[in-house]
Amino acid sequence: MATIKIPPVLRASVGGEREVSAPGANVGEVLRGLVSAHPATASQLFGPDGELNRYVNVYLNDEDVRVLDGLETAVGDGDVLVILPAMAGGCQNGTSASLS
Amino acid sequence: MSPSGAEFIRQVKAAITEVDPSVVHELIGDGVAIVDVRESEEFASGHLPGAKHVPRSYLESRIEGIVPDRSQRVILYCASGIRSALGARTLTDDLGYETVESMTGGITLWKDRGYQVEVPKTLTPEQRERYSRHILIPEIGESGQRALLDAKVLLLGAGGLGSPTALYLAAAGVGTLGIVDNDVVDLSNLQRQVIHSTQRVGIPKVDSAEESIHALNPEVEVVKYQTRLDASNIMEIIAGWDLIVDGVDNFPTRYLLNDASVRLQIPVVSASILGFDGQLSVFKPYEGPCYRCLFPVPPPAELAPSCGANGVLGVLPGTMGLLQATEVVKLIVGAGDPVIGRLLLYDALAATLTEVKVRRDPACPVCSRAPDEIRDEEMGVFPDYEAFCAAAG
């Protein structure tokens, strides 16, 4: 079982957990394992074509899976997957479209 | 029989390579390490532009800190060319440097030829006392402190991240701090924006920040931009700054800032925060990845909540802002390993720091091209820019 680190924006979709475990021999299987356990994550991770959304980065340990073998990248027990969508918050005045 | 001193120096000069000041003059700024081997007081009275300083007596023990790569071309000079000749022999014969030359006639001949000499600023007695704890650290020292005093750092926002960054950079003696902020101080800011105060609710943040900065360190020059950064003013505002500290809270401005900073080749120390989580990285154009290499497209609005909507732990921008300030100081004094090509993820609840690698994207729409190829109309644009802005309101 690999450990998946869940970013803040996806935590509500996994019952508030910061880390979950999922089985799978490669990155795609682990992420689909996550999706089957927590269906609300599906549209946030995958596009209609079944590929990872471009605005979500996934790292196997510290390496971007896109420079490895993408969803085919082999995952071993004890590996850590980090899901990382971009975060914009500079938290100035709380309005998302302003700079302050 | 041992040779006389003069004969010995002749022998050393015959064995090493000497280079004329006219050649050195052409090589300045060309990736050649120019090292002044005179004593500290001689160096302080004026040196070649951009020269590094290692006194002859410390050459063996300190040269690796200045020129770690033994294949890099090194030119030594002193007052007249004797100490540098001896130093060149040491670097070549004893330390294995591959290309070492000694400048003929030293800085005396350099000046006779009419070439420019750089006179470093010296610290006043008050500055020596104020910054004494910096001067004591070898990685900063007097030259690092002078670099801080000469530095110009632009802060985007005097909010959660900008507050601690501005205060600590002012305390550290960063000579010029620019602040871009269009807001006024609000009571709800004070849970985290420590540069402001209860008495200053309602006044512009740039003015409030300036007051705190000057109370802490009156010699910091504050340049205020009470405006919102946008495509019409970004090039004018950010040009000429050494470093930018990014605390902007929305994606359109982040992409705009990225494109403009790549074009002007200004490093950006970037942080973002949400809830109990923070991210930190340094985007140094053409040396490491840019923001678009990391995130080629922004997430849809529902996956990009703001702090205002979701809240943030008040200390978190303090933590992340001070990590930014630390990176700024490191970049200015040239110490340590900046977080270029790396992204740090801080989880305050778990108290963990995770690091992932960020690589330059060879197909990056912005930083895979030369700066002058990035056109005005391309800046800040991403494929669904209009839709994104509409969704974000």
B186 in contact with chain A, both atoms CB, cutoff 8 A: yes
Mean pLDDT of B254-272: 94
**Do A64 and B357 make contact, defined as CB atoms within 8 angstroms?**
yes
Closest by CA position to B36, among listed B325, B45, B215: B45
Of B110 and B45, which is predicted with more confidence? B110
Mean pLDDT of B238-243: 96
Mean pLDDT of B221-226: 98
Which value does ipTM take for this structure?
A: 0.87
Residue with tokens 């971009």: A86
> What order of strands is seen across the sheet that includes strand B52-53?
B17-19, B100-103, B74-77, B33-36, B52-53
Closest by CA position to B76, among listed B37, B21, B29, B122: B37
Distance CA B232, CA B129 (A): 43
Share the mean pLDDT of chain B: 91
Would you place residue B375 in the very low, low, confident or very high pLDDT band (cuts 50, 70, 90)? confident
Query: What percentage of chain B reaches a pLDDT higher than 90?
Result: 78
Distance CA B357, CA B192 (A): 30
With CA atoms as reference, the chain A residue closest to B204 would be: A100
Of B119 and B155, which is predicted with more confidence? B155
CB pairs under 8 A between A and B: 170
- The minimum CA-CA distance between B84 and chain A, rounded to whole Å, is 46
Assess contact for B278 and B294: CB atoms under 8 A.
no
Would you place residue B305 in the very low, low, confident or very high pLDDT band (cuts 50, 70, 90)? low
With CA atoms as reference, the chain B residue closest to A63 would be: B357
Q: Which long-range contacts (CB under 8 A, 24 or more apart) does B1-4 make?
A: none
Instruction: Tell me which range, A37-46, B308-317, B328-337, is most confidently predicted by mean pLDDT.
Output: B328-337
Query: What percentage of chain B reaches a pLDDT higher than 70?
Result: 94
Distance CA B227, CA B206 (A): 10
Of B161, B183, B229, the CB nearest to A93: B183
Q: Label residue B78 exposed, middle or buried (CB < 10 Å: 0-12, 13-18, 19+).
A: buried
Would you place residue A100 in the very low, low, confident or very high pLDDT band (cuts 50, 70, 90)? very low
Q: Label residue B115 exposed, middle or buried (CB < 10 Å: 0-12, 13-18, 19+).
A: middle
CA neighbours closer than 13 Å in the CB half-sphere of residue B149: 21
pLDDT of residue A88: 63
pLDDT of residue B76: 97
**Do A97 and B393 make contact, defined as CB atoms within 8 angstroms?**
yes
* pLDDT tens-digit series, residues A8-67: 889 989 999 999 999 999 999 999 999 999 999 998 899 888 888 888 999 999 999 989
Distance CA B202, CA B129 (A): 36
Residues in chain A: 100
Cα B263 → chain centroid: 17
Burial B125-162 (b: 16+ CB within 10 A, else e): eebeebbeebbeeeebebbbbbbbbebbbbbbbbbbbb
Q: At what angle do helices B82-89 and B5-15 cross, to 10 degrees?
A: 60
The one-letter code for the residue type at B167 is L
DSSP state of B3: P
Chain B, 279 to 318: residues with Cβ < 8 Å from chain A are 279, 294-301, 303-310, 312, 317
pLDDT of residue A51: 87
Of A67, A92, A97, the CB nearest to B359: A67
pLDDT of residue B391: 47
Closest by CA position to B47, among listed B104, B113, B112, B120: B120
Chain B, 250 to 279: residues with Cβ < 8 Å from chain A are 250-254, 271-277, 279
The one-letter code for the residue type at B276 is F
pLDDT of residue B309: 63
- The minimum CA-CA distance between B210 and chain A, rounded to whole Å, is 15
Would you place residue B13 in the very low, low, confident or very high pLDDT band (cuts 50, 70, 90)? very high
Of B272, B299, B358, the CB nearest to A89: B272
Assess contact for B165 and B325: CB atoms under 8 A.
yes
The pTM of this model reads: 0.76
A66 in contact with chain B, both atoms CB, cutoff 8 A: no
Kindly list the distances between the CA atom of residue B360 and the CA atoms of A72, B289, B305, B341, B371, in Å, as whole numbers in the listed order: 22, 4, 27, 8, 15
Would you place residue B250 in the very low, low, confident or very high pLDDT band (cuts 50, 70, 90)? confident
What the block records as the tokens of B344 is 């740090």
**Do B274 and A9 make contact, defined as CB atoms within 8 angstroms?**
yes
pLDDT of residue B392: 45
pLDDT of residue B304: 67
